[in-house]
Chains A and B, each alone.
Chain A
Amino acid sequence: MSADRLRGAVLEARDITVTFGGFTALRDASLVAQPGQVTSLIGPNGAGKTTLFHAISGILLPDHGETRLDGRSLRGMSPDKRARAGMARTFQILELFTGLSVAENLQVAVEGRSSNRIWRDLFSLRHPDDPDVLRKVHEAMDLVGISDLANRSAGSLPTGLSRLVELARAVCTDPQVLLLDEPASGLSGPETDRLHAVLTSLADLGLTILLVEHDIELVMSVSKHIYVLDFGAMIAEGTPAQVRANPIVRAAYLGAEPDELQAVES
């Protein structure tokens, strides 16, 4: 990943409300993520974190509220357009291209945005790979540490590795903003350390990273700023230290998951 290709953008979610039937999954949720740092979004299961990611990335249309990228509203933009505008993401429920190899998963992420090659590929006899694309793919795999998996079928990987492939795939789209939905779940200890290093280096290169994660230790050590979501509403925000000390946050976690409280306290 050469540094000149990375440019973050200010990501802003404003007053996002999402309802499913009668159930309000998100109520006026807002957040700002700055370039060059990791911003985290935490909260108990079912708080609405994934729903907020869906709304930001355009997969789901909020009842009201909007997403802005460097101040530009993305209202009405389809998810693929948002991706082309610089927003990349990973999924809590994996969405890999299971019939392709790991390398091809990344290749398609580099190529898929432009349609230049459709007609050429449709009517030509040979389909040589673009060396620039391959270089990018290789760099991304190196960065995440999955070079050895290049030829493996993406459908054959265990969850932890799949998450790393999704991360590498997202990086391949030359994003300005990276949304990561529980990237560490299913990862082993050393894998998580690796993820930590990757996130830090991507942020240092200037990317805007928004992280949803249950591994509180990882969140506390990697984030500059943390938002806390509970029952669809933002109940707190601040630096890791401020969030750790916040009594409302403690109560929310106490109500939900005791083991996570311990993590917060530690």
Chain B
Amino acid sequence: MTLDPRLATTRAVDSGWQRALDRIPPRLRHPGLLAGVLFVLWVYLAAPNQWTYLGQQFVAGISIGAIAALGGTGLVVAYRATGVFNFAFAGIATICAFIMYEFTAHQGLPVWLSLLIVVLLIGPAIGALMDLIVFRSLERRSAGTAEKLVANLGVLILLLGIGAVIYGESTYVPKNVFSAGQAFQIGSGNNAVNVSWSVVGNVGLVVAAAGGLLLVFRYTPLGRQVRAVVDRRGLAEMFVVNANRISMLSWAIGAAFAALAGVLDAPVVGLQNGGLALQVLQIIGVAVVARLRNIGVAVFAGLGVGVVSALGNALVTPHYWSWLSWIPSVNTDFDVQVPVLTTVVFLLVYRNLDESGSGGIGGVVTATFGRIGQRSTAAKLQSVLVVGLVAVIAPALLNGGNLVTAQKVVAYSVAFLAIVAITGYSGHLSLATASFAGLGAYTTVRLRNGLLPLPFSTSIPHVPVLLAMLIGGLVVIPIGVLVGYPALRRRGLILGLITLAFAQIVDAFVFQSPTWNSGRTTDRPNLFGWSFAGDRTFLYFELVVLGLILLLVRNLSSGALGRVLGAMRDSERGAVSVGISLRRYKLLIFGASAFIAAIGGSLIVQQAGSLNINPDGPFAPLFGLYWFGAVVVFGLSYRSSAVLAAILYIVVDTATGHAGSSLIVIGAIALFVGYMPGGVIGTVLRFVGGDGVGPSPAQKSLANYALARARAEQAPPPGADLQPSRFAEGLLAGKP
């Protein structure tokens, strides 16, 4: 039984399946286990004569899976003890892997010593610092989940920004932590399966670390205290538990596990700033299978995901997947696809994943949206005039590199407006905006090159850029609506995780599709023989598009539609109680936001000339997080913050000459958004007095209506004899 209104329409029926399921012992009824058993059965049917080969792959899978198990355990520990989902773990893992690399490759420290320093000192120190600087004060201010989440994203963005500035996007080859040499064999002769020291080491670490943690949680006073703090922090504090110490400890433990995962993963997948972080982010699937709570399940899920990926990869070679060959993307990297699909499936399957993650993102958005009414028409006209003049004159004054920078800023402004619409106006946490933009860009270049925007090579006539951009926007709308479906039931963290997984799916199945290695370029639009190819004319073209999109976004926030979206954002229960159909408006805003992002993405690729699908390319999954961070920093519900965010995002990198330096600024500010309701813009507006708003048109017409009624002395409505205004005066006087 659940109180969620959108869950209330379906109900488990007492079917034969249900009864069959009931006969399985409850402990074994985990859907992950069921999936594993089915998979092994299928492997057996598919490849009965390959046991040695598969055995070797199985061992390799266990080794990779052990790393995932460690990372997943760290996520679960931090989440359990602090209530904050630790997105930053991917950043911690990356930074620690780089530090390890410095120690072993440049300082000449032995691997074992570096490992000890990084995992037992540096990782925990990062965790403890996060607690000291950011989360402790947020907790003291009783900040909401959303504020903590944004701060945590800030840590991730900051760490990856630091990594990007120092190490760029080159790939380094760190030393193995454990020797790749053979530890022992299972079986003998030709049928022997080798087990290397790294397998033994990884598995040993999981057993020791996760097992130790479980024992501590179960059997020590410390563990009991942690659980007490998780359940009721205030209450626990009354009983002399030092909640601060406990939560610092939990952050430290979580970070140590993240460090361990990063250090072990780097030699396997390669040490590259964005690339390693992306790999590590896939571990989220492991934590999700464990319902973000259960360490034991996390360990087995990690091992299971590792084994399934490895066996999947093994089976690609002998073509046991031939029955799936109509999906070209399948013949590729299961290391990526299995964890990502696991994340999505389990996020959708679990109905009550976790209470603390299921709320909206009210803390960040509603606070920013304290704008009652709108500015006066004169003020609006003024600002439209000023902005219009700047838009016309500025391009004429810019030249060379500045012109290119301005082009990028405008293109990103369009894409960032999608975040204002989806999160600022309707309250949905979406971390996939960069992927929607990427799909818009993808459609544009495909159509431009005479290919359908699908992973097959079907030739069609070459489509003009302008039309390709528009089609790109339209094609992405149904995809946005599809991603919006989970939002009918979920908000906040869980929706954020679903959208992040969607971003990874788009990357794995569309951008990284091996069938797609040509046709990634595009030129600039050309209308009625008038070319926008020149840098200045293209900028004007972009500004026109930005103007149109701004108009669309403004329409999403004003009139009846704006009020309905605002109502839905502030209280879904309140909204349904007045008859608003959440489904209609949620799908609408997801579709609209996807459209806007796709148009922005198309502009981005037109500006660049070709689509870069590498981990440092503009639409890689991590970039959705970066974009969200950039807009949050300025204030999610202001249109101007999309433009300011784009300026910060582009100009800082250009000015410093280091890609990623804007991330350091964005991440650092995001740490403290909890202190700045409404972001930078909201805070500034509060300082300059009010938020520059007068009565809205509705309020003015109401006032006029009252005046007119008083003049005409119409018949008073029922209840008017109760002297309403004097009564309300009394209320206001009594309650300031």
Contacts and interface: CB of A to CB of B under 8 A. Distances in A.
A261 interface: no
B563 A89 contact: no
Contacts of B588: 118
A151 B728 contact: no
B574 A143 contact: no
A164 B722 CA distance: 15
Interface string B722-733: 101101111110
Contacts of B566: 97, 99-100, 104, 108
Contacts of A148: 725, 728-729, 732
Nearest to A174: B579
A117 B373 contact: no
B676 to A, nearest CB: 17
A191 B731 contact: yes
Nearest to A23: B1
A142 B720 contact: yes
Given A113-B578, A142-B719, A169-B578, A100 B563 contact: yes
A108 B699 contact: no
Interface string A96-114: 1111110111011101110
Nearest to B697: A129
A1 B717 contact: yes
B724 A145 contact: yes
B702 A150 contact: yes
B21 interface: no
Interface stretch (B2-10, B92-100, B658-666): B2-10
B625 to A, nearest CB: 25
A259 interface: no
B567 interface: yes
Main SS at interface, chain B: helix
B556 interface: yes
Interface string A109-137: 10111010110011111011101001101
Contacts of B696: 101, 104
A109 to B, nearest CB: 4
B372 interface: yes
Contact of A103 (B567, B574, B698): B698
Contacts of A158: 735
B187 to A, nearest CB: 49
Contact of A80 (B555, B582, B699, B730): B582
Contacts of A105: 567
B559 interface: yes
A251 interface: no
A139 B715 CA distance: 12
Contacts of A99: 365-366, 369-371, 566, 569-570
B15 interface: no
Given A117-B560, A148-B728, A148-B732, A21 B1 contact: yes
A121 B702 contact: no
Contact of B722 (A59, A80, A145): A145
Contacts of A143: 717-719, 724
Contacts of B729: 148
Contacts of A104: 372, 563, 566, 696, 698
B716 to A, nearest CB: 8
A239 interface: no
B372 A190 contact: no
A149 B733 CA distance: 12
Contacts of A2: 717
Nearest to A80: B576
Contacts of B40: none
Contacts of A81: 579
Nearest to B427: A99
A149 B373 contact: no
A13 B72 CA distance: 47
B724 A20 contact: no
A97 B718 contact: no
Nearest to A55: B8
Interface residues of B, number: 69
A61 B722 contact: no
A108 B551 CA distance: 22
B578 A88 contact: yes
A230 to B, nearest CB: 20
Contact of B574 (A1, A84, A97, A118): A97
A44 interface: no
Contacts of B3: 54, 59-60
B4 to A, nearest CB: 8
Interface stretch (A29-37, A193-201, A218-226, A242-250): A193-201
B581 A147 contact: no
B564 interface: yes
A63 to B, nearest CB: 7
Given A111-B564, A121-B560, A80 B579 contact: yes
A194 B728 CA distance: 10
A19 B695 CA distance: 47
A145 B570 contact: no
Contacts of B695: 151
Contacts of A253: none
B705 A138 contact: yes
B706 interface: yes
B185 interface: no
B573 A58 contact: no
Nearest to B7: A61
Contacts of A149: 728, 732
Interface string A196-225: 011001000100000000000000000000
Contact of B8 (A79, A124, A138, A169): A79
A95 B577 contact: yes
Contacts of B579: 80-81, 83-84, 109, 112-113, 173
B698 A205 contact: no
21 contacts: A58-B8, A63-B1, A79-B576, A107-B560, A107-B698, A108-B567, A111-B560, A113-B578, A113-B580, A121-B562, A127-B560, A129-B697, A134-B705, A143-B718, A145-B727, A146-B728, A155-B370, A158-B735, A161-B731, A173-B578, A188-B731
Given A60-B1, A78-B9, A112-B579, 11 more contacts: A58-B5, A61-B8, A63-B1, A80-B575, A80-B580, A80-B582, A109-B578, A118-B584, A139-B717, A160-B735, A194-B722
Interface of A: 1-3, 18-21, 54, 57-61, 63, 76, 78-81, 83-84, 88-89, 91, 95-101, 103-105, 107-109, 111-113, 115, 117-118, 121-125, 127-129, 131, 134-135, 137-139, 141-153, 155, 158, 160-161, 164, 166, 169-170, 172-173, 188, 190-191, 194, 197-198, 201, 205
Interface of B: 1-3, 5, 7-9, 11, 365-366, 369-373, 551-552, 555-556, 558-564, 566-567, 569-571, 573-582, 584-585, 588, 592, 695-699, 701-702, 705-706, 717-720, 722, 724-725, 727-732, 734-735
